[in-house]
Amino acid sequence: MSHSMGLTERVEHIRELAPRDAAEELVRLPADDIQFILSRLPAEQALVIASHLGEVAAPDAAATRAVLSGMEETIGELMTPPTATLPDSYTVAEALTFMVKSADVSEISYIFVTNEDRLVGVVGMRDLILSKPSESLASIMVPEPFAFQQDTRVEDAVSEVLYRHYRMYPVVDEQQHVVGEVRGWKLYERIATELSAQAGSQYGVAKEEQINTPVLAAFRMRHPWLQVNLITAFAAAFVVGMFESTIAQIVALAAFLPVLAGQSGNTGCQALAITLRGITLGQIKDYPISQLLRKEILLGALNGAAVGVIAGIAMFAYAVTTDSANPAMLGLVIFIAMVGACMGSGIFGVAVPLLLKRFGADPATASSIFLTTFTDIIGMGLMLFLATSLVL
């Protein structure tokens, strides 16, 4: 494939090749070019070619591995060379001449305008075409444009693009010299990747695992978290064991333990999902944690009360039919325990991912494992404690 070929022409060239031949062509290109070309192909064809990339890539082909796994951590790793950077003294006519001579004119969305090599403005194609040929770029540019630094973390950049919907973002160094550009679709692609990976990550499924991951590799990724889950489950079992005599005397409680655990667990997972989404999209920075906690506590109380009434009535009826002691008090115990468990699970749904992030861990990884343990302990522990105190 000729290096003088534009990216658009390369897309068409790759489209006509067999998957393995296409992969062999792509592997010679920079990571950003590979990403761009794959994104322009039909989804089915892109996936087949991507599967061959891993086979034809050399062991040290870090650029290709980055494309396939989303390993870029900073904007500097994600950026591509700038397509159009011109001095502010250029006229519209000169800028149009530059574009006509550009090999990748179809890839130009903005012209980055500089003064003494420093970024001072941006000119969009619409403004350029509608302006008089004699006007200077300085007179039609948007001054002081938003730009990323090379060392800006990708997760921070993702938060910015949610509020700045541009097709292209300039990248500058410490002296405000334009060193590259980042396309908006790359950052939105990262958002989609992170959100899609969260569902599995919450249960200990690594983001790198795909449907075609070999069995042993998948086992190594998943099994450690199952061991963690086993250890945390022992903690919940220990709490239930502390009230063994209570369960022996009030057998009806055993029937409602899974009911309480299920409701509180679902409440916690709802709060967890919202918190993880807020972290991924960067919304957590603009929303006070205390306010989020108050919201989830209130939601937990309302949801707990709504389901607690029904569960309390069900406990009362079950206790009556099984001749258990004090059916009315048992119904009240279930109601109070349901409210308390749902409030507590809302707190843990917010706290678990934030604590994981605070200590430098991936906030999505196995959050649900820890959350389930905490909600089981507080829910079942509260119900058995209330039953011991109020009924026996």
pLDDT digits (tens, 9 = 90+) for 135-193: 999 999 999 898 998 888 877 777 677 667 677 889 998 888 999 888 777 776 665 55
* pLDDT over 60 at 1, yes or no: no
CB 77 within 8 Å of CB 150: no
pLDDT band at 3 (very low <50, low <70, confident <90, very high): very low
167 to 76, 81, 107: CA distances (angstroms): 17, 15, 11
Helix ranges restricted to H, 30-142: 31-40, 43-56, 62-69, 75-78, 92-101, 125-130, 137-140
pTM of the model: 0.53
Cα 90 to its chain centre, rounded Å, is: 42
Per-residue pLDDT band at 332 (split at 50, 70, 90): very high
What is the pLDDT, as a whole number, of residue 58? Answer: 46
Token digits for 85? 């950077």
Q: What is residue 68's predicted lDDT score, i.e. its pLDDT?
A: 40
User: What is the structure's pLDDT at 226?
Assistant: 76
Q: Which residue has the tokens 């306010």?
A: 291
Measure the CA–CA gap between 246 and 72, rounded to whole angstroms.
55
Average the pLDDT over 238-251 and give the result. Answer: 84
Residue-level pLDDT at 125? 85
Residue predicted with more confidence, 251 or 68: 251
Instruction: Assess whether pLDDT exceeds 60 at residue 266.
Output: yes
Cα dihedral sign for 122, 126, 127, 128?
A: positive
